[in-house]
Amino acid sequence: MLDARAGERYRGEVEPVDPVAGHIPGAHSAPTGDNLGADGTFRSPAELARRFAALGVTGEQPVGVYCGSGVTAAHEVAALAIAGHPAALYPGSWSQWSNLPDRPVATGPEAG
């Protein structure tokens, strides 16, 4: 699972919209802005493939993506497709997850 939000939202340092700050346990921080080059367009397929490989995307396991509301996660799904990795969008994203009190929440940087 990739979290496409800014790092500070992933870590739970700020949450401007939802009732709880943090991320889905086990998700990796993958800010959408890192999919773009300096000119604002998508990085090359090879660059994106390297980026996602560093995040553990190998093509051996399904990939899901979420953000706050699903919008930037859709951008991340497109970047994954450019890199050759199909991915599923969690459209409810963090807004849905954080509004369900029985769902676990993690904060802080990624482990390991």
Catalytic machinery residues: 67
Q: Is the Cα dihedral 63, 29, 70, 68 positive or negative?
A: positive
Helix axes 45-54, 71-82, angle to 10 degrees: 110
For 106, counting Cβ atoms within 10 Å of its Cβ (0-12 exposed, 13-18 middle, 19+ buried), the class is: middle
